[in-house]
């Protein structure tokens, strides 16, 4: 940990307390504890620690009851509260978050990861990672070393262990390798598909965590008329296009058909919007506390000179991405390239810059680059974006993210 925090542990297992004291003490942290939940309550109110670690199952007063009492104390509003329990059930985890927990860690703890897990919860940042930034086709080779040649995939990881994956282009194989190297098991995640064009779904069968029993995934995305999300994903794994069928998944895998709607996952608000692209394509707006991340790919923003220009749609999209801390959006073409690509369902760099500036976006992430564009071409698009933003006197920052690059929001 890069800062000294005051921790207070409440657990009736003295051996577990000793283990935590050892690990956290080695990190230079201040650690207080009490084996009695009843006795701990006044001590925590007096000490005002940075982070309280609670067991779920304790005599006299269980962890959830103590959590509820602590959350009723105004002086502890800044204190992070983490449940560390042997109960791995989804029901208990959801109740803990409902009562005001900031994190939930399942015993037995991993001594190599516990400090990083707790720091993530205390800092409460959204971790945005790019696993593939190109569109249409993967483009490996010497001309795509800087930004990477894999297709669309990003992830959002939250302090409360919620893990979201957006699209499953070939970048999801890079994410799969990363997760397997970290030995994350069991694993739970939501996979949000923007639309079922192959560069957004065709690497899903190579996502190894889907084959591991004990993992749990929900694959969410737009159905196409009478073709469900389950049918769209399983269709590319029917034995003709891919030799392994969807029934081979060892994890528990659920499917959810989405339309334009709004819903909540563990206190994280998700909004969807139909995008201007062939077929049924959704953009996503993720709101967590005071932060907003928008994922908008694939999408075409027609210029005002086009007969297809739709001011109403542009206003809707502007409102949808308004005030985003991070806007990840389709900027497939340069302005020159777009002249011959009108109607292909993708946008040019100047159109994307206009949208970000108009919506007051804090950081614009250039995404879904054309398969013929090299690292040098992406550098040129980034320079164009910087020049346009400067010309507008915009406060928006523009970044061209690289494969495996992580941003904390």
**Mean pLDDT, residues 61-70 taken together:** 93
- Give the pLDDT of residue 405: 98
Beta bridge partner(s), residue 136: none
- Give the pLDDT of residue 112: 77
- Give the pLDDT of residue 113: 81
Q: Is the peptide bond before 108 cis (omega within 30 degrees of 0)?
A: yes
Residue 393 has pLDDT above 80, yes or no: yes
- Give the pLDDT of residue 317: 98
Burial status of residue 400 (CB atoms within 10 A of its CB: 0-12, 13-18, 19 or more): buried
- Give the pLDDT of residue 183: 85
Average pLDDT, the chain: 93
297-315 pLDDT, tens digit each: 999 998 888 888 899 999 9
Say how far apart CA 238 and CA 234 lie, in whole Å.
6
Quote the percentage of the chain above a pLDDT of 90: 78
Residue 137 has pLDDT above 80, yes or no: yes
Domains of the chain by start residue, with CATH: 6-123 (3.40.50.2300), 127-408 (3.60.15.10)
224-257 pLDDT, tens digit each: 878 999 999 999 888 888 888 999 999 999 999 9
Residue 3 has pLDDT above 90, yes or no: no
Residue 1 has pLDDT above 80, yes or no: no
Indicate the pLDDT class of residue 192, thresholds 50, 70 and 90. very high
Q: Which two tokens stand for residue 29?
A: 């942290």
104-120 pLDDT, tens digit each: 988 888 877 888 889 88
Residue 257: CB atoms within 10 Å? 14
* Contact present, 34 and 13 (Cβ < 8 Å): no
* Contact present, 51 and 122 (Cβ < 8 Å): yes
Residue 71 has pLDDT above 90, yes or no: yes
**Mean pLDDT, residues 16-37 taken together:** 91
320-360 pLDDT, tens digit each: 999 999 999 999 999 999 999 998 999 999 999 999 999 99
Dihedral (CA of 163, 167, 168, 170) sign: negative
**Mean pLDDT, residues 48-58 taken together:** 94
């Amino acid at each position: 940990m890069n800062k000294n925090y005051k921790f207070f542990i409440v657990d009736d297992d003295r051996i577990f307390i000793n283990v935590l004291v050892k690990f956290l003490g080695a990190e230079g942290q201040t650690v207080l504890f009490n084996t009695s939940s009843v006795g701990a309550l006044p001590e925590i109110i007096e000490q005002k620690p940075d982070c309280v670690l609670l067991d779920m199952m304790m005599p006299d007063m269980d962890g959830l009851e103590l959590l509820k009492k602590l959350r009723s104390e105004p002086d502890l509003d800044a204190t992070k509260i983490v449940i560390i329990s042997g109960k791995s059930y989804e029901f208990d985890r959801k109740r803990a978050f409902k009562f005001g927990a900031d994190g939930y860690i399942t015993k037995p703890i991993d001594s190599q990861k516990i400090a990083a897990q707790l720091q993530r919860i205390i800092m409460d940042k959204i971790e945005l990672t790019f696993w593939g930034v190109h569109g249409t086709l993967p483009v490996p080779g010497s001309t795509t070393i800087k930004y990477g040649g894999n297709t669309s995939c990003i992830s959002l990881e939250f302090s409360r262990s919620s893990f979201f994956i957006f699209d499953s282009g070939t970048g999801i194989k890079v994410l799969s390798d990363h997760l397997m190297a970290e030995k994350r098991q069991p694993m739970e995640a939501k996979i949000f598909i923007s639309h079922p064009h192959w560069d957004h779904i065709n690497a899903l069968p190579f996502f190894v965590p889907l084959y591991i029993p004990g993992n749990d995934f929900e694959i969410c995305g737009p159905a196409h008329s009478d073709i469900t999300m389950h049918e769209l994903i399983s269709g590319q794994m029917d034995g003709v296009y891919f030799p392994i069928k969807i029934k081979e998944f060892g994890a528990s895998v659920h499917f959810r058909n989405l339309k334009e709607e709004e819903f909540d996952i563990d206190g994280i608000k998700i909004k969807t919007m139909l995008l201007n692209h062939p077929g049924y394509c959704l953009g996503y707006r993720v709101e967590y506390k005071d932060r907003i991340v928008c994922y908008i790919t694939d999408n075409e923003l027609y210029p005002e000179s086009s007969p297809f220009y739709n001011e109403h749609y542009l206003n809707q999209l502007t409102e949808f991405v308004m005030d985003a801390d991070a806007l990840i959006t389709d900027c497939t073409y340069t302005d020159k390239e777009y002249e011959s690509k009108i109607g292909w369902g993708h946008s040019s760099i100047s159109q994307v810059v206009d949208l970000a500036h108009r919506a007051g976006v804090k950081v614009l992430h250039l995404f879904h680059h054309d398969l013929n564009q090299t690292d040098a071409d992406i550098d040129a698009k980034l320079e164009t974006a910087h020049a346009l933003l400067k010309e507008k006197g915009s406060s928006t920052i523009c970044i061209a993210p690289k494969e495996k690059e992580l941003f904390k929001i």
